[in-house]
Amino acid sequence: MLHVPTIDISLDDADEVARRVDHAARTVGFMQITGHGIPDSVLADFTAATDAFFAQDAAAKSAYRCPPGVNRGYTPPKAESLANSLGLTSAADLFEAFNVGTQASDFPDLELSEEDYETNVWPADPGFRPAVEAWFAAAQGVARRMTRIFGRALGLGEDGLTPFTGHSVDVLRMINYRLPAPDVELEPEQVGMGAHTDYGIVTVLWADAVPGLEILDHDGSWQPVQPAPGALLVNLGDALARWTNDRWVSTMHRVAAPRVDGVLVPRRSAAFFHDGDVDAVIAPLSTCVDAEHPALYEPVTVGEHLRAKLAGSRGGALTAGAEREAARLR
């Protein structure tokens, strides 16, 4: 199994935490985070609320479905293909999901477009929203803490990356691998979630300790990864890889159809995406560019980058400009 380093971010030695994060970011792009401080009760309430939602019938859940261009609400199984975000075609993914995120109304002093900061859709269950908002706030706190650690690790100081995140596009995606039956025959190459890199700065992931998540290693092989007890998985997204001029890795990953002893089993996860300000420009940082390491990417705003990626995964339009990421699969 690929080694994903475990890092206790509550350690008093901030420079040592930054050093460990830098090593993980350079080599794997994933890390197990402990010392995050999220109470077990917040997770218990959150998973109970999401379990209750996903247990409803398809018609009830589909009442909260939004158009593909709106990254909110419910997504039914086989409605997305994450590999499209790499410019590659694939079978539709098996997962179903529910998304909430930062809204334009969260930043009343700014004139932000609802195209980028969409309004959330909330299920009728009165217990769903408070439980989800509590987890959203907790995961957001971890993501912002990691962003400060990243700044220190890059030699920029803890506030080095925060100018890109004052009104960050943040999305929490609750995911259920709703499989047809334990012995069903899947389509060729069909998976729970297709191969992709995440799009933004950092992803904070909670997941069941069930097989499924796989990371593409340096030899082009898929390696299984499971969260350690009490830990959160953290990985880097494309925006941070581009800011660091690929000094740090936005790791290719997927979720295989989850199986135990050859039988398909249920699996749940929740991914919090901290993507940066919609108007922030993604361009290699000056500290990551020199004569031996010329800039690998043309500047693009976070908004432009996210729209292109989402048009692929949700809208079915193959994303252009992802050749460096897609080349790893080829």
DSSP structural state of residue 34: E
**Contact by Cβ (8 Å): 171, 211:** no
Whole-number pLDDT of residue 185:
62
Segment among 77-81, 284-288, 306-310 with least mean pLDDT: 77-81
Task: Dump pLDDT digits (tens) for 40-89.
Answer: 999 999 999 999 999 999 999 999 999 988 999 999 988 887 878 777 77
Question: Tokens at residue 54, please?
Answer: 């996903």
**What CATH number does the domain containing 293 carry?**
2.60.120.330
Report the pLDDT value the prediction gives residue 179, as an integer from 0 to 100. Answer: 62
DSSP label of 235: E
Query: What was the pLDDT predicted at 144?
Result: 98
The three-point CA angle 282-306-154 to 5° equals 35
Decide if 1 is inside a domain: no
Is residue 280 in a domain? yes
Structure-token match 């997941």, residue found = 207
Distance separating alpha carbons of residues 88 and 73, to the nearest angstrom: 25
pLDDT at 183: 57
pLDDT score of 328: 67
CA nearest to 321, candidates 197, 145, 216, 174 = 197
Average pLDDT over residues 13-27: 97
- Indicate the Cα dihedral angle 56, 58, 62, 68, nearest 10°: 120
Structure tokens at 189: 């190459």
- 212 is in which domain, residue-wise? 6-326
CB 120, CB 103: distance < 8 Å: yes
Q: Which residues pair with 216 in a beta bridge?
A: 222
Asked whether residue 18 is assigned to any structural domain, the reply reads: yes
Q: What's the token pair of residue 180?
A: 């047809």
What's at 146, amino acid-wise?
M
Three state DSSP letters for 154-175: CCCCCCCCHHHCCCEEEEEEEE
Exposed e or buried b for every residue in 69-99, given b needs 16+ CB within 10 A? ebbbbbbebbbbbbbbbbbbebebbbbbbbb
Q: Tell me if residue 269 falls in helix, strand or coil.
A: strand
- Of 188 and 177, the structure prediction assigns the larger pLDDT to 177
Is 182 within a domain?
Answer: yes
User: Has this prediction a pTM greater than 0.85?
Assistant: yes
- Determine how many CB atoms are found less than 10 A away from the CB of residue 56: 15
The pLDDT tens digits of the residues spanning 128-183 come to 999 999 999 999 999 999 999 999 999 999 999 999 999 999 999 999 986 656 55
Report the number of distinct structural domains present in the chain: 1
